[in-house]
């Protein structure tokens, strides 16, 4: 499976999940949890990161954050590495504490922010029971659970200065008391039935959002490098275009029609346009369809796609007009 893509940007919201290496405990006791929260609170303003919700369990933790700068990776590296060093010294252990890379889902806050916040707050107390008695027990545990942001959100425990609650509560009416009451009802209703992980609704890797939001992220990622070979594949999949979209772009550039591009040219500009269409389709579509499928859409075989791409690449080295055209289309 391809490594999830790290998508960083200013003003982005993320659901971050970190698990213990091999299922080990990352928080052994109260002192560990307090140390982690203190470190979180100290680093958040330094990196201009807002903490909007959190929940700490024995083997993992959840954060809902907004980054004011495109620096989630640097913030998490400092947070996790510093806590790991502290934990190892305290517990006389060594090595990795957390399992591989943390997960970070980019969240369309307007569409899914409430669901993510609810999921995080319910995560420590859900036991799967949906009887009236089970729900009552979970509700009591939720309201008493010390190691999440829920009590501070509800005003039943002091709120750390670094915890931001107003953005979450703002959509639940006017007046703090009413907002808290409505948000609590929304969260605690989730105890009565099956509550899916919002990440399961993500249609593309690493992004939880509606189509317009996903399109915005796609535009942001064009021309960016993923940073490592594994996640580069995910970036290509996310930014891939369908063949018809590519045909329309080339047709506009060459002042022709997509249908004309699919017909064998008679030389000159029409042949060049067709070869460029095949070249761009390989560049933009190969993450979601094979060369054979590209060729079939254009009425040629896989070998013809490769041949057209080689000719375009070769011609662009000496043809400045073609090079400018390729740069424009890319």
Percentages helix, strand, coil for the chain (3-state, rounded to 5) are 55, 10, 35
- Same domain (yes/no): 199, 297: no
Residue 231 pLDDT level (bands cut at 50, 70, 90): very low
- Same domain (yes/no): 187, 52: yes
DSSP string, 37-52: HHHHHHHHHHTTEEEE
Per the domain annotation, does 230 fall within a domain?
A: no
Edge-to-edge strands of the sheet including 49-56?
A: 49-56, 60-67, 12-19, 103-107, 207-208
Domain count within the chain: 2
Rounded CA separation 194/34 (Å): 31
- Same domain (yes/no): 273, 137: no
- Same domain (yes/no): 22, 53: yes
- Same domain (yes/no): 217, 283: no
Q: Are 258 and 32 in contact (CB under 8 A)?
A: no
- Same domain (yes/no): 214, 248: no
Q: Are 242 and 288 in contact (CB under 8 A)?
A: yes
Per the domain annotation, does 235 fall within a domain?
A: no
Task: List the end-to-end C-alpha distance of the chain, in Å, as a whole number.
Answer: 27
3-class secondary structure, 239:
helix
- How do residues 34-47 score in pLDDT, each as one tens digit? 999 999 999 999 99
Question: Which of 173, 188, 221 is a domain's end point?
Answer: 221
To the nearest 10 degrees (0 to 180), the angle between helices 268-285 and 302-316 is 110
Question: Which of 192, 221, 250 is a domain's end point?
Answer: 221
- Same domain (yes/no): 205, 320: no
Q: Is the pLDDT of residue 305 over 50?
A: yes
- Same domain (yes/no): 61, 156: yes
3-class secondary structure, 16:
strand
Rounded CA separation 234/62 (Å): 23
Per the domain annotation, does 311 fall within a domain?
A: yes
- Same domain (yes/no): 31, 147: yes
- How do residues 61-118 score in pLDDT, each as one tens digit? 999 999 999 899 999 999 999 999 999 999 999 889 998 889 999 999 999 999 999 9
Residue 228 pLDDT level (bands cut at 50, 70, 90): very low
- Same domain (yes/no): 56, 88: yes
Tokens standing for residue 47? 């990196």
Give the structural domain span for 277.
Answer: 241-329
Per the domain annotation, does 322 fall within a domain?
A: yes
- Same domain (yes/no): 41, 80: yes
Per the domain annotation, does 7 fall within a domain?
A: no
Supply the pTM of this predicted model: 0.71
CATH number of the domain residue 310 falls in: 1.10.1750.10
């Amino acid at each position: 499976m391809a490594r999830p893509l790290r998508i960083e940007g200013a003003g982005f919201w993320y659901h971050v999940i970190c698990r213990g290496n091999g299922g080990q405990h990352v928080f052994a006791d109260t002192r560990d949890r307090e140390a982690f929260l203190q470190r979180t609170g100290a680093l958040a303003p330094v990196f201009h990161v807002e903490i909007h919700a959190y929940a700490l369990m024995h083997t993992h933790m959840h954060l809902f954050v907004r980054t004011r700068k495109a620096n989630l990776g640097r913030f998490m590296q400092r947070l996790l590495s510093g806590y790991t060093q502290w934990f190892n010294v305290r517990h006389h252990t060594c090595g990795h504490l957390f399992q591989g890379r943390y997960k970070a889902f980019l969240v369309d806050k307007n569409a899914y922010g409430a669901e993510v916040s609810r999921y995080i707050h319910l995560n420590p107390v859900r036991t799967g029971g949906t009887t009236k008695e089970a729900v009552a027990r979970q509700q009591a545990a939720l309201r008493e659970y010390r190691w999440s942001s829920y009590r501070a959100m509800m005003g039943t425990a002091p709120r750390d200065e670094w915890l931001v609650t107003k953005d979450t509560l703002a959509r639940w009416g006017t007046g703090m008391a009413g907002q808290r009451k409505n948000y609590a009802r929304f969260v605690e209703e989730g105890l009565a039935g099956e509550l899916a992980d919002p990440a399961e609704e993500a249609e593309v890797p690493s992004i939880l959002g509606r189509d317009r939001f996903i399109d915005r992220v796609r535009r942001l990622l064009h021309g960016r490098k993923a940073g490592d070979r594994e996640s580069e594949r995910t970036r290509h999949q996310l930014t891939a275009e369908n063949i018809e979209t590519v045909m329309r772009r080339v047709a506009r550039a060459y002042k022709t029609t997509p249908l004309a591009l699919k017909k064998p040219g008679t030389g000159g500009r029409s042949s060049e346009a067709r070869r460029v269409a095949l070249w761009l389709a390989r560049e933009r579509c190969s993450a979601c369809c094979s060369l054979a499928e590209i060729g079939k859409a254009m009425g040629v075989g896989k070998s013809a796609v490769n041949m057209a791409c080689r000719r375009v690449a070769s011609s662009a080295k000496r043809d400045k007009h073609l090079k400018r055209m390729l740069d424009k289309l890319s």
